[in-house]
Amino acid sequence: MDRQSWDVVVVGAGGAGLRAAIEARAQGLRCAVICKSLFGKAHTVMAEGGIAASMGNVNAGDNWQVHFRDTMRGGKFLNNWRMAELHAKEAPDRVWELETWGAVFDRTPDGRISQRNFGGHEYPRLAHVGDRTGLELIRTLQQRIVALQQEDRARYGDYEARLKVFQECTVTRVLKDPAGRVAGVFGYERESGRFFVVEAPAVVLATGGIGKSFKVTSNSWEYTGDGHALALLAGARLVGMEFVQFHPTGMVWPPSVKGILVTESVRGDGGVLRNSDGRRFMFDYVPDVFKEKYAESEEEADGWYEDPDHHRRPPELLPRDEVARAINAEVKAGRGTPHGGVFLDVSTRMPAEAIRRKLPSMHHQFKELADVDITAEPMEVGPTCHYVMGGVEVDPDTAAAVGVPGLFAAGEVAGGMHGSNRLGGNSLSDLLVFGRRAGLHAARYAAAYATGAVPEPSAADVELAAAEALRPFGAEGGDAAVSRGPAENPYALHQELQQVMSDLVGIIRRAGEMEEALHRLSGLRSRARRAGVEGHRQFNPGWHLALDLRNMLLVGECVARAALEREESRGGHTRDDHPAMDRRWRRVNLVCRLAEESAGPAVADSALGLVRLERQETPPIRPDLLALFEKDELAKYLTDEELL
């Protein structure tokens, strides 16, 4: 088993992980980055529309206070307000910093970074590079890493002296010392199957989301909720797991590409949604809390693109949860397209040349995958599981995971920032703001061990982690009375899990169905104990999936338990049996942690329910931040006691 020691380990090489690693190295510490796929092939690279930051380049009215307000409204006031404040204040600096590191953004006519409109943002706010912004972001951060490695080579004679990337390596456990402090990670190399331990007093989780637990998703194979599960298993808590974002516009046809994202920029740049009767139906779905801000007629909505100061916004640019629900309702009412979506039309709204220039990836994607020319015909789109708002409960200023000394989390794996619903563009800015903070504070934490004894993983835990990882090779019969039986196929289990989550805990939820989901998840968990694979440890995707199942099952249980408990509809959580938002629930965060009796690798996937759910009161919002809103608006969200 390969063993190495570093000061800080970052798990994940997307935007959050790379920004954290750059910061930890900049603080003078030795930092290892571990990623499951190839370096650069994180989710961040797929981001299309842009990075939200109130630079005010296109509309000078924008500033951090307006961005903060929009973010809180988008999250229906359940956001961790301190995170939303830090995010709104620091996002512009993080974008300008990218530019100094070589990012080439699209420009305004007078040469500043261009910013585009997106749902829920009052002003044009998304810095972008066509519809390939994530690619430029990752390219820039990678280039920065290489530049730092070149400095290290000049100084220490070794490119990897202080910053090293371990690619195609999957972490399966965060290791702790007997005092409960983080001591490193355990994992395996995907190609060789060899195990490794990287010891470090500080571990930053930056593993992204959970989309692969659902059947239709815009997410790629890596999003199996690993970081969420690693944190839970290490004793951390997950907050807000009931809030899963279904992006309103994924491709619906052909079946092989179902779920692939159609960027919100299509609507931001003028695209409209129509049902099979040709009606622009979003005017029928503007909820009361947003009525004052959205247009009531097509004329008013269209006027907004040219003259936003004198027109209200088109309802196609409502926050994502509203648009996704509206599309769902139209299809259910029999007004959908032949393939079960609605029409998204940009062809009658913009010249073909402008579509090809502003939306090159979308043009290419539809032409190649669906044989649709979006300059001449509408797209068919429908909701797709896209993002998880829930995640590791962290201290807002330091990104430290609550309750586990030495553990940090940033990016999509962290919870709280987006409340019940994330606004488009607010993820890329979140990665940069909190990635930097996580790297900074992980480095400060690790630096405290520079002269003292560093926490060491216990040998027994390393052995248990290895045994857990090897179990799929000897799965026949299982090793617990509850799970005796023939070996199970991990692919079949994964498909069943996705079906359960999509059918029973998906975009519209009901109590009975979620109870059924918990029952089915428990059965799947007991069968997953017997997930068996053949062959050996050299690149064996079936084995990798068998190990990922533990994570998806844990995360699925968190989502189902929290969704069953929250008896209201808010943001990315819609209850058919409790359709209204209830102000009393704004005071409640639902927090998941591992049941004590199921901690430790040996019993981590027993047939019992593993997750304990607790209610936690949300902290009161600071008065100067509340003062940024009109009293009338606050009355829609806050309880009477909070308004006093």
Comparing CB distances to ligand FAD, the nearer of 43 and 274 is 43
Which string of b and e fits 340-375 if b means at least 16 CB within 10 Å?
A: ebbbbbbbeebeeeebeebbebbbebbeeebebebb
CB of 203 to ligand FAD, least distance (A): 11
Give the interface with ligand FAD as residue ranges (CB under 6 A).
11-17, 34-37, 42-44, 46-50, 133-134, 170-171, 206-208, 218-219, 222, 226, 261, 387, 411-413, 424-428, 431
What token pair was written down for 264? 């919100």
Beta-bridge partner residues of 113: 107
Comparing CB distances to ligand FAD, the nearer of 256 and 451 is 256
Q: What's the N-to-C CA distance of the chain in angstroms?
A: 61
Comparing CB distances to ligand FAD, the nearer of 478 and 571 is 571
Residues 17 and 41: beta-carbon distance below 8 Å:
no
CB of 511 to ligand FAD, least distance (A): 30
Residue 251 one-letter amino acid: M
Residues 572, 61, 112, 436, Cα dihedral to 10°: -50
Task: Write the DSSP assignment of 28-47 as a string of letters.
Answer: T--EEEE-SSSTT-SGGGG-
CA angle 236, 545, 409 (to 5 degrees): 25
**Would you call 411 helix, strand, or coil by DSSP?**
helix
DSSP character at residue 497: H
Residues 319 and 231: beta-carbon distance below 8 Å:
no
Comparing CB distances to ligand FAD, the nearer of 12 and 92 is 12
CA angle 173, 141, 416 (to 5 degrees): 55
Helix (H) or strand (E) holding 428: helix 426-447
CA nearest to 39, candidates 163, 130, 217, 224: 163
Comparing CB distances to ligand FAD, the nearer of 207 and 526 is 207
CB of 41 to ligand FAD, least distance (A): 7
Contacts of 42 (CB under 8 A, 6+ apart): 12, 13, 14, 15, 17, 35, 138, 208, 222
CA distance 204 to 437: 11
Comparing CB distances to ligand FAD, the nearer of 312 and 441 is 441
CA nearest to 155, candidates 25, 33, 11: 25
Respond yes or no: is residue 320 known to be catalytic: yes
Residues 26 and 44: beta-carbon distance below 8 Å:
no
Contacts of 349 (CB under 8 A, 6+ apart): 270, 271, 272
Neighbours of 158 (CB within 10 A): 11
CA distance 350 to 352: 6
Q: How many residues does the chain have?
A: 644
CB of 201 to ligand FAD, least distance (A): 19
CA distance 406 to 408: 7
CA distance 318 to 293: 10
CB of 221 to ligand FAD, least distance (A): 9
Residues 11 and 205: beta-carbon distance below 8 Å:
yes
CA nearest to 407, candidates 392, 387, 422, 417: 392
Q: Give the β-pairing of 31-34 and 163-166.
A: parallel
In the bound state, the residue with its beta carbon closest to ligand FAD is: 14
Neighbours of 279 (CB within 10 A): 13
Comparing CB distances to ligand FAD, the nearer of 172 and 483 is 172
DSSP character at residue 119: T
Q: Which residue of the set 25, 267, 320, 575 is catalytic?
A: 320
CA distance 363 to 372: 8
CB of 138 to ligand FAD, least distance (A): 8
Task: Write the DSSP assignment of 582-603 as a string of letters.
Answer: -GGGGGEEEEEEE-GGG-SGGG
CA distance 386 to 218: 5
CA distance 8 to 20: 10
Burial of residue 288 (CB within 10 Å: 0-12, 13-18, 19+) is exposed
Comparing CB distances to ligand FAD, the nearer of 35 and 475 is 35
Q: Catalytic positions, please?
A: 320
